[in-house]
Structure formats: C-alpha cells, structure tokens
Amino acid sequence: MPSLDAELADEQAHLERARAELARMREAAESLDASKASDAVSGEVLGWVLARRIASLQDDPETTLFFGRIDTRPRGGPAEDFHIGRRHVTDATGDPLVVDWRAPISTGFYRASSAEPMDVVRRRRFGVHAGRLTAIEDEWLLGDEVSRDGRSALLAAEIERPRTGPMRDIVSTIQPEQDEIVRGDVATTICVQGAPGTGKTAVGLHRAAWLLYSFRQRLDRSGVLVVGPNRAFLDHVGAVLPSLGEVRVAHATMETLVAHAPARAEDPVEVGRLKGDGRLAEVLSRAVWSHVRPASEPLIVPRGVRKWRVPASEVQDVLDELKARDLRYEAARGHLLQRLAHHVLLSMEASGEAPDDRVQDAVARSSAVKRYAASVWPALDPAAVLHSLFSDAAALAAASADILTPEEQRLLVWDRPARTKGAARWSRADLVLLDELSDLLSRTPSLGHVILDEAQDLSPMQLRAVGRRCSTGSATVLGDLAQGTTPWATASWAEAMAHLGKPDHDLVELDRGFRVPGLVIDYAARLLPHISEGLTPPTSVRDNQGRLTVSRVVEGGVGARLAGILAERVDEPGSTGVIAADDHLDRLGAALDERGLAHGRLDVDHGDDADHPVQLVPATVAKGLEFDRVVVVEPAAIAAAEPDERTGLRRLYVVLTRAVSELTVLHSEPLPEALTP
C-alpha cells in the first residue's frame, strides 16, 4: 500500500491536472464567436449561453476543484474511482477528471454506508487549505477494512470552520437525510420542518442547484425563485448558488414579490392579522365578481342599414355561463366580446345571411359591442377594487357577508378614506391583497420551482401569493414552527401547505443539528415547551459541545462588558454577531464606538460593512443568519418587544440559536422565567 504522503502527492497532482483541463475548457468556450450565428436572435441567445458557460468555468484558486472521492466496485463491472466536486471537468478526450456533485454517480458519496454501500468500496475526504490538499481521510465501506465508527474529523472541521461574510455552500458536508431532500423529484413539493442548525436553508439552496442541473431545459424555460424573509437574509445566502455555478435563480422577499405599489403605512397588529386571514380571499373574489351587472337591456348592433338585436335574456345566459367557468375576470371579459358577436351572427343566419368568422371578428370589435360589454362587465384594476372596498362600509359588508363579523368589517374600513386610489397609503398587508386581486383579474404566471424559506412566518394570504408563483410547478418549503415570530405564524404545516395550494406534499423533519453546538441548543431548547408543544427537541451531533456563558452585569454595565468581550476576541478568527432588541442597537453601537471597537451593522434591507467580522444585529433580522460567536444582550428585552409572550419567546429562541461555536448571554435585567433551570 502506498504511504499517505505518496497518495496525497498523487491527489495533488490530479488536482493540478484538473485545473489545467478546466483552463483549457474555459479557453475553448471563450474562443467561440456568437456573432457567427445564422441570425441576430440566434446570435443573442448563443452569446447568452456562452457567457453563462464561461462564468461556470471560473476557477477559484482558494478552493479545490474536488472535495471527495469514491472508489466503486459495481457487481459485474470494472472498479472505478470518481473525484467529486462543484463542477464537471473532463480531459481533452472527454473522460471525467472531476464529477459534478449533482451527477447520479455522486449520490454514493453522500449516502453510502457500511449497511448500504451502494457499490462504494471507499469514501475519501480531503483536507483543504488555500487551494491545496492538506490531508486525506478514508472510510472503507466494503471488504476487510470496513470503518465501524463512521465519524469524520475532516467533516467536523469543515462544519466548524470559522466563517465571515455570506453563507457558504455545504456541498462537501451534505448528510444522507439532507441529500434525500436535495435530490427529490422535480414534480414533488417538499416541506421541511427543520430545527435550528439542521441546515434546512442550505438544503433548499442546494436543491435548487440540483434541480437546475438535473432538469435544466425544463427549468430554464419556467424559472426558479428563492423567497426569503428580508434583504439581509438574501444577502447572506446570495453567494451559495453562484458558488455552485448557478446564476439563473431569482431572489425576492415577500415585499418585493408583491410590490404593486410602495408600502407607506403600518397596520395595527389586529388589522394586519385580519388582512392576512385566508377568508379575505373569498371577500376579494366576491368584490371582483360583483362588478358584473345583470343584463337589463338588449344588445343592439347597427350593421349597414340593419340593426341586429340580442335579447337581454340571451346576454344574461352568456354572462352566467362565463361566470361559472374557471376563468379569470379579464379573460372572461375578453371572451364576452366574441360570445356577444356570436349571438349577433346567429341572428344574421336566422334571417338568411351567411356571415363568416371575419364578420364575427368585426362585430366583436365594433363600438356597439364594446360599449355594451363595458356596461355589464367593466374593466377593473386591483387598486380601484381595494380602494372601493376599504372606503365604503356598505361595499365591504356586501362582499364579506357571512364571512367577516361586523367588528372585523369595522377594522378594515378606513377611518379617513383616501380620495382616490392613487392617494391611498397601502400597508404591506394591503400589497398582498392587491396581489390577490391582480390574480383574480389576470392569472399570475407560474414558475417551475419556488424555494420558500422561513415559511412558518407567512400569513395565509402571503402563502397564497407564493403559491400562485408555482401553481403549475413545485415548491420546497423550509421552516420551523418553533421559530414563528409573526402574529399570524402558522399553527401547522398541513394548514400552511393548504394555503400554498400544495396539500399533497412530502413532509420531512430534520432534527439533527450540525451547526449549533450541544450546549447552545440545549440551553435554547428550554423554551420549546412554552412556544411549540409536540415538536421533537433538536439534537446536536457535533463532538464539540461549544461554549456557553451566561453573565449578569450591574445595571448600566452591559455596554462596557460587551466591549470587553469583543476586545478579548479581537484576534480570534471567524465572525461575531451581537444581537439585541432593535431599540437597543444604537446605544450598543455608541458604546463600542466610544471604545474604538470597529463593527458593522445588519438591518432588514441592507448591511453596513456586511463583511466585517463583528456585526450588530437587530433581533428581528437575526432569523436565518449564523455567526461563529454570538453575544445576546438582554434576552428579556428581546422577548418583551413582541406583541405577546409566546411570540417573544419564539423570537428569543431564534436569537439564541445563531451561534456555531460560542454563545454569550449578557443581561442586567432578570432572564425570562422560561430560561431559568
């Protein structure tokens, strides 16, 4: 057997060869000339394809082209070995030097075990530093040297490696249960209930990358969208897919998804909760269709020297038929013109004339038919409908009879109605209602796949808005019921998925924590009985239990103690997040500035010096973020900032589970009772 040093040298030589071949592939792509296409349109498409191909062949000298290898011995076939990496690399003859982690053959790297080896004899992992291989770790799955332990020091080191800046991919550390989600069929909608640190966000992003690789032609046409809770979160995860070679995925927050107008108002909690209630969908539907008026007069169409008459009863039959069909309001309105024209043609034929399709089209375009159609089926726009509904108590009462109580109706009607729809000050909840109205008028185009993160926080109406974007596609829904921090947070995944329009879905629970260490997750789990009964407590599978410090300081001494902690850690690698109630952040920032301690600040829409290793983070923005070290300041204030106790403790649960290695809790106020042993 060759020595490990010799094998490491051979693997490094393979890496250098793969790098040279990747450069050759890139040069070959750059040499192609899109301008030589047969026409301008083809040239534009070819140029776009080549640009994407060239971008995917970039080499990052700080990383390696592969992170693992599998040696296989299929029954009845030759033994082969495959190096697994982020992209496919071949030599000049087409033989693979590196296999894309998404290729079917790579599945064994993630899922093979001694119990189910999947023809894998040996799984090899590599230690990496500054673009070079530094270590080899072998796990034997077949033969006399089968590894019994199954633990990987290199895997643990990669998970615990210090981090700064945006989230990085987990392609080298995907676990078997995560890989099953990643490689789920494109037609299957998957809902992932994931405890903190189980990697649900990363799994969702890697699923997007796998789907784009495996169903490229289909999803290139229909598109993939990632929906996150805020801009800071999207900035945090935004580098993952490009690092995997996928740059065609759109990103949106709930606000940008439904941005029909700027949000210029804030609703009281009870009003926001009501506007997010699923019952509003039926109220809005009634409001739209109530604009179709009964046909009280016949349709008279002058043509030449004659006038053709369609009785009101026949027109009403047409209106009733169109309303009964599964058509959007505007689509049915478009059909109405042709249906009215058809009845005029029937009258012509009954009188002995022989009109053809051209005559019917001319009648449908005539001013008489257009005016009549507008009188019984007027054109609408979402803002006008919602403005009318919230300005007129009688209109709202008619649309919400037997759906909303009189008290609920009074909550929705504006005290001081805007004079026009253009002057209306819409809230974020109103924008979701405008989106619902827009879909009632004209169908929202569907994407091929939507990744929805932190789904537990969305209201039924928000879930409907996301569901419209994948009505003919599929979705990957990610969340944790215990981390629901909005007044309208969902009570169950069955309820949420029904509002999303995906009642038939696979529900998968992830409860093995890879990011959050044991001491930290056990401390945060004290809150679970108070915030979400019935959920399985998460379990950290890391050997390193992390560090937990809970320190009480004198009143007014938090800023000085925080500065001392940060000063002690200033030379340690990795990131530090200081998380506090939103209204505490300015005061903490001033305390750090006074002591000359540099820091950045993350807010909901952007990051101030987002790559700085020390970040001040509002508690309301912390969800989905991760830091090597976290300092939580005044947990009681974080919980008290929410409208009710359960939501406050859920917010605190989110905040306490952001740490990868170390959690420090600083407080001068007493801790919430739920946190005390």
DSSP string across 579-594: EE-GGGHHHHHHHHHH
Alpha helices by DSSP H, 366-454: 367-376, 382-391, 393-400, 406-412, 428-441
pLDDT value at 607 more than 60: no
Mean pLDDT of 577-589: 95
Is the Cβ–Cβ distance between 576 and 569 less than 8 Å?
yes
| Ranges 171-175, 322-326, 372-376: which has the least confidence | 171-175
The Cα 164–Cα 610 span in angstroms is 9
Q: What percent of the chain has pLDDT over 90?
A: 70
The token pair that represents 562 in the structure block: 């925080």
| Ranges 24-28, 154-158, 506-510: which has the least confidence | 154-158
Mean pLDDT of 543-556: 91
The model's confidence at residue 544, banded by pLDDT at 50, 70 and 90, is confident
Q: Which of 199, 246, 245, 197 is nearest to 226 (CA)?
A: 246
HEC-encoded secondary structure of 100-145 = ECCCHHHHHHHHCCCCCCCCEEEEEEEEEECCEEEEEEEEECCCCC
Q: Which residue has the higher pLDDT, 1 or 202?
A: 202
For the ranges 32-46, 288-302, 559-573, the maximum mean pLDDT occurs at 288-302
The Cα 511–Cα 294 span in angstroms is 58
- The residues with which 618 forms a beta bridge, in sequence order, are 580
Residue 604 confidence (pLDDT): 60
DSSP H helix total and E strand total for the chain = 28, 23
The model's confidence at residue 610, banded by pLDDT at 50, 70 and 90, is low
The Cα 420–Cα 424 span in angstroms is 7
Q: Residues with Cβ < 8 Å from 576, sequence gap 6 or more?
A: 566, 569, 613, 614, 615, 627, 628, 629, 630, 631
Q: Which of 202, 94, 16, 76 is nearest to 626 (CA)?
A: 202
Residue 94 confidence (pLDDT): 94
The Cα 202–Cα 168 span in angstroms is 9
Residue 173 confidence (pLDDT): 84
Q: Which residue has the higher pLDDT, 265 or 173?
A: 265
Is the Cβ–Cβ distance between 267 and 487 less than 8 Å?
no
Residue 145 confidence (pLDDT): 66
pLDDT value at 631 more than 60: yes
Mean pLDDT of 396-413: 97
Mean pLDDT of 649-653: 96
Burial class (CB in 10 A: 0-12, 13-18, 19+), 210: buried
Pair type for strands 66-72 and 89-90:
unpaired
pLDDT value at 609 more than 90: no
pLDDT value at 155 more than 80: no
Residue 148 confidence (pLDDT): 57
Is the Cβ–Cβ distance between 525 and 537 less than 8 Å?
yes
Mean pLDDT of 480-494: 93
In 185-283, where do the E strands start and end? 190-194, 224-228, 250-253
Mean pLDDT of 69-90: 92
For the ranges 136-145, 156-165, 251-260, 293-302, the maximum mean pLDDT occurs at 293-302
How many CA atoms does the CB half-sphere of 181 hold within 13 Å? 31
The token pair that represents 56 in the structure block: 């995917």
- The residues with which 263 forms a beta bridge, in sequence order, are none
Is the Cβ–Cβ distance between 4 and 28 less than 8 Å?
no
The Cα 507–Cα 93 span in angstroms is 44
| Ranges 217-221, 270-274, 424-428: which has the least confidence | 217-221
Question: How does the average pLDDT of the chain come out, rounded?
Answer: 91
Q: What percent of the chain has pLDDT over 70?
A: 95
pLDDT value at 130 more than 90: no
Mean pLDDT of 546-569: 93
Is the whole model's pTM more than 0.75, yes or no?
A: yes
Residue 150 confidence (pLDDT): 57
Residue 450 confidence (pLDDT): 97
Residue 304 confidence (pLDDT): 84
pLDDT value at 606 more than 60: no
Residue 542 confidence (pLDDT): 77
pLDDT value at 285 more than 60: yes
Residue 164 confidence (pLDDT): 59
Q: Residues with Cβ < 8 Å from 461, sequence gap 6 or more?
A: 275, 276, 277, 278, 280, 281, 429, 432, 433, 436
pLDDT value at 111 more than 70: yes
pLDDT value at 162 more than 90: no
Q: Which of 240, 266, 269, 243 is nearest to 255 (CA)?
A: 266
C-alpha angle with apex 604: 203 to 437, nearest 5 degrees? 80
Is the Cβ–Cβ distance between 251 and 223 less than 8 Å?
no
The Cα 49–Cα 216 span in angstroms is 13
pLDDT value at 381 more than 80: yes
The token pair that represents 116 in the structure block: 């189910």
Q: Which of 255, 224, 212, 230 is nearest to 450 (CA)?
A: 224
Residue 169 confidence (pLDDT): 76
The model's confidence at residue 163, banded by pLDDT at 50, 70 and 90, is low
